[in-house]
A and B are shown apart, each in its own frame.
Chain A
Amino acid sequence: MQELIQALVAGVLMGGIYALIGIGMTLIMGVMKIINLAHGELMMVAMYITYVLAQYFGLDPYFSLLIAMPSLFIIGVLIQKYLLNPLLKVDSILPENQVLMTVGVGMVLTEVMRFIFQADFKSVKTSYSSTAFYLGTISFNLPMVVAFGIAVALTICLFYFLLKTDVGKSIRATAQNKEAALLMGINAEKITVMTYGLGASLAAASGTLLLPIYYLFPSIGGPFTLKAFVITMLGGMGSTVGAIVGGVVLGVAESLGATYIKMGLKDSVAMFIFLLVLIFLPGGLKRLTKV
């Protein structure tokens, strides 16, 4: 019983961070109808920003959120504006080519970082990296809990933004029906740029939150892009609520899989769920919740 609870706790906490990565991708998916395959790489760039700030300026990783998120927002805006949107204007190019472009962007980001920082593993050492507190015999890793808390707070802010503000409403409108949104006078191009920036800064947040627990190297992005992709599919493409549930489900599934099946098969568990969803629930959780 104890190990079940411990596995659940570890899974849910990890799931919070996964959800944050997933929401970013799902937002982009919803508005642009493309899978952003540079998502993990954007996260990696944010981790390097945080790493540099911590290493050379002594900034606490949580404080760097305030710098990493806006920086990635700007990078995201630039990518969408100058690399992805121009592709839409050329009729002969299929819109799917935007996806290919994101793959390219991801590769360039990885190689640039490899060039600057070498392929070595870096880690940010904080006084609280391995602090834990205990409820009974169940241990809670402090940075994990903080990361989970911040992830929840950011998600709440995002929902407020999407539901209550003008821009947020425009994003949702564009996601639901682009033509109708255009007819209503929404500047769809501006909205796509905003959305990509927002998605990138959410990826930045998750990267920064992960850094005190994990470590960092240039090719770290790939596996996380994959995770975000699974979450997006699991949640139903474009559904933010779905992405949250999907993230937590993935975290818990990995944790339970590693505990009760085999640590080495952790990633296969995620892929197995992915296959099951594709076969039995092609629309993802969105089909059940309709949100």
Chain B
Amino acid sequence: MKKFFRFSLVLIMALALFAPTASFAQETIRVGIILPISGGQASFGEIEKNSFDIAMEEINGSGGINGKKIEFLYEDDTGRPDVARSAAEKLINKDKVAMLGGGYGSSETMAIAGVAQQNRMPFLINTGSDDKITEKGWDFVFRLNPYASEYFKGLESFLTEVVKPQTCAILYENTNFGTSQSKAFATACERLGIKVVMTEGYEKGGVDFKPLLINVKKANPDLIYMISYLMDASLLMRQSMELQLNPKMFIGGGAGFTLPEFPDNAGKASEKVMSVTLWYQSLPYPGALDYFTKYKERFKKNTEYHGAEAYSAAYVIADVLKRAKSLSPDDIKEALLATDMKTCFGPVKFVKVGDKINQNVLPTYVMQWIDGKGELVWPKEGAGKPYVYPVNWQKEWK
């Protein structure tokens, strides 16, 4: 009996392994999308996957790719580069996808990009923003989003015209994204005449950031710039509130600071905090507001720049596959190079910028959490609401 049970178990497992590959018919064009669907970065993965899903339905609803349907195969990188790497290998070798998309965390994106280049597989990045990714000369890797050192371009004029800080402290999570952006921000500060009094990295996932924040309090900078993922961003702000830090402004470097979950987790500590952002629904891009309302209706939740990146990446992928002469990697690559389209995330065109190749260039913006809502506040022309400055933190945190 026991033997029979064991035998049938092995049989079932073997069947489970082979079944899915056997049942697919080649009526669809498959594109592999690698996102952090579980793990610490899951909130970002969720918003992006939802957006990919909306786009996929719309594309297929309006005729698909030259009559064929497009299908996004999702793989979970769990927020770890090694998993991302094997996910990419699986999609390329086992699922035989036409091209790759996705890529959230910079470290994971770097791993995927490496695999893609080795296998000569076109890869369109929509979020991973470490500068180095497009500096390696990898001609099969394209990036839709601005790179990390561009994130705060829109912030610079806000700093020089409004806040005019003398000193600044930079706190960053010490993987690719944080390190890359913090270095660039420190250089920018020097250029703008802001003295960087403290730059410190931390391991993401800490319980107690107070030791770090005590040092910030001692340095008493005018500006605190933080580059963090979601949970760290919330804890940093909550503990800043506890320690009664009093800078002129708290500014986040995108990522954790723009997600709708940020005010949920940080509570009133999130109020009036600013962040750089790459997109806002009120921007004059075709379909931007449309996408925002669709997302909100369907998922009963707000979306922000990560979602918009994913949504427009899906459209770029569809556009590229439509234009490509064949589905061979080289033809897809050629089609990617020739991309020139307007998406809800902004115009997309892959160009060479400095050392970077296949890089899209877009302006960036500043947003602020006002009464629990993320509002675009800078530049003034596109702003939905006037910025709140100066802020009396003691009053906000009562």
Closest to B202 in A: A263
Q: Find out whether the CB atom of A125 lies under 8 angstroms from the CB atom of B39.
A: no
Q: Can you list, as one digit per residue, whether each of A258-274 has a CB less than 8 Å from chain B (1) or not (0)?
A: 11001110110000000
Closest to A144 in B: B208
Q: Can you list, as one digit per residue, whether each of B226-255 has a CB less than 8 Å from chain A (1) or not (0)?
A: 000011000000110111100000000000
Q: Find out whether the CB atom of B218 lies under 8 angstroms from the CB atom of A120.
A: no
Q: Find out whether the CB atom of A263 lies under 8 angstroms from the CB atom of B214.
A: no
| A206 interface contact, C-beta 8 A | no
Q: Find out whether the CB atom of A3 lies under 8 angstroms from the CB atom of B200.
A: no
Pair count A-B, CB < 8 A: 90
Given contacts A118-B38, A118-B42, A120-B42, A214 and B215 within 8 Å (CB-CB): no
Residues of B within 8 A of A120 (CB): 38-39, 42-43
Residues of B within 8 A of A139 (CB): 242-244
- Shortest beta-carbon distance from A138 to chain B in Å: 10
Distance A215 CA – B205 CA, assembled complex (angstroms): 9
Q: Find out whether the CB atom of B174 lies under 8 angstroms from the CB atom of A10.
A: no
Q: Find out whether the CB atom of B201 lies under 8 angstroms from the CB atom of A264.
A: yes
Residues of A in contact with B, size category:
20 to 34
Given contacts A132-B242, A263-B202, A123 and B211 within 8 Å (CB-CB): no
From B200, B208, B244, name the one whose CB has the most chain A CB atoms within 10 angstroms. Answer: B208
| A14 interface contact, C-beta 8 A | yes
From A2, A14, A121, name the one whose CB has the most chain B CB atoms within 10 angstroms. Answer: A121
Residues of A within 8 A of B211 (CB): 7, 10, 255-259, 263, 266
| A155 interface contact, C-beta 8 A | no
- Shortest beta-carbon distance from A55 to chain B in Å: 13
- Shortest beta-carbon distance from A257 to chain B in Å: 8
> Which 9 A-B pairs have CB atoms at the shortest separation, nearest pair first?
A258-B211, A119-B38, A259-B211, A132-B242, A130-B238, A263-B202, A263-B212, A3-B214, A120-B42
Given contacts A129-B238, A255-B211, A264-B201, A121 and B217 within 8 Å (CB-CB): no
Residues of B within 8 A of A255 (CB): 208, 210-211
Interface residues of A (CB under 8 A from B): 2-3, 6-7, 10, 14, 114, 118-121, 123, 125, 129-130, 132, 134, 139, 141, 210, 213-215, 217, 255-259, 262-264, 266-267
Distance A43 CA – B213 CA, assembled complex (angstroms): 28
B231: contacting residue among A6, A114, A119, A121, CB under 8 A: A121
Q: Find out whether the CB atom of A6 lies under 8 angstroms from the CB atom of B38.
A: no
Residues of A within 8 A of B218 (CB): 2-3
Q: Find out whether the CB atom of B200 lies under 8 angstroms from the CB atom of A263.
A: yes
> Is the contact region of chain B dominated by helix, strand, or loop, or is it mixed?
helix
Residues of A within 8 A of B265 (CB): 123, 125
Distance A259 CA – B210 CA, assembled complex (angstroms): 8
Distance A121 CA – B243 CA, assembled complex (angstroms): 25
Number of residues of chain B lying within 8 A (CB) of chain A: 34
| B284 interface contact, C-beta 8 A | no
| B206 interface contact, C-beta 8 A | yes
Q: Find out whether the CB atom of B217 lies under 8 angstroms from the CB atom of A3.
A: yes
| B269 interface contact, C-beta 8 A | yes
Residues of B within 8 A of A125 (CB): 264-265, 267
Q: Find out whether the CB atom of A141 lies under 8 angstroms from the CB atom of B242.
A: yes
- Shortest beta-carbon distance from B380 to chain A in Å: 33
Distance A262 CA – B200 CA, assembled complex (angstroms): 8
A6: contacting residue among B203, B206, B214, CB under 8 A: B214
- Shortest beta-carbon distance from B145 to chain A in Å: 24
Q: Find out whether the CB atom of B269 lies under 8 angstroms from the CB atom of A130.
A: yes
From B207, B210, B231, B269, name the one whose CB has the most chain A CB atoms within 10 angstroms. Answer: B210
Residues of B within 8 A of A3 (CB): 214-215, 217-218
From A118, A210, A263, name the one whose CB has the most chain B CB atoms within 10 angstroms. Answer: A263
A130: contacting residue among B42, B215, B231, B267, CB under 8 A: B267
Residues of B within 8 A of A263 (CB): 200-203, 206, 209, 211-212
Residues of A within 8 A of B40 (CB): 119, 121, 217
| B78 interface contact, C-beta 8 A | yes
Distance A263 CA – B200 CA, assembled complex (angstroms): 7
Q: Find out whether the CB atom of A10 lies under 8 angstroms from the CB atom of B208.
A: yes
Given contacts A3-B215, A7-B214, A217-B40, A267 and B203 within 8 Å (CB-CB): yes
Q: Find out whether the CB atom of B39 lies under 8 angstroms from the CB atom of A119.
A: yes
Closest to B268 in A: A130
- Shortest beta-carbon distance from A182 to chain B in Å: 36
From B209, B212, B242, B269, name the one whose CB has the most chain A CB atoms within 10 angstroms. Answer: B242
Distance A48 CA – B367 CA, assembled complex (angstroms): 35
Residues of B within 8 A of A214 (CB): 207
Distance A66 CA – B200 CA, assembled complex (angstroms): 41
Q: Find out whether the CB atom of A264 lies under 8 angstroms from the CB atom of B39.
A: no
Q: Find out whether the CB atom of A258 lies under 8 angstroms from the CB atom of B212.
A: yes
Q: Find out whether the CB atom of A130 lies under 8 angstroms from the CB atom of B242.
A: yes
From A134, A139, A267, name the one whose CB has the most chain B CB atoms within 10 angstroms. Answer: A139
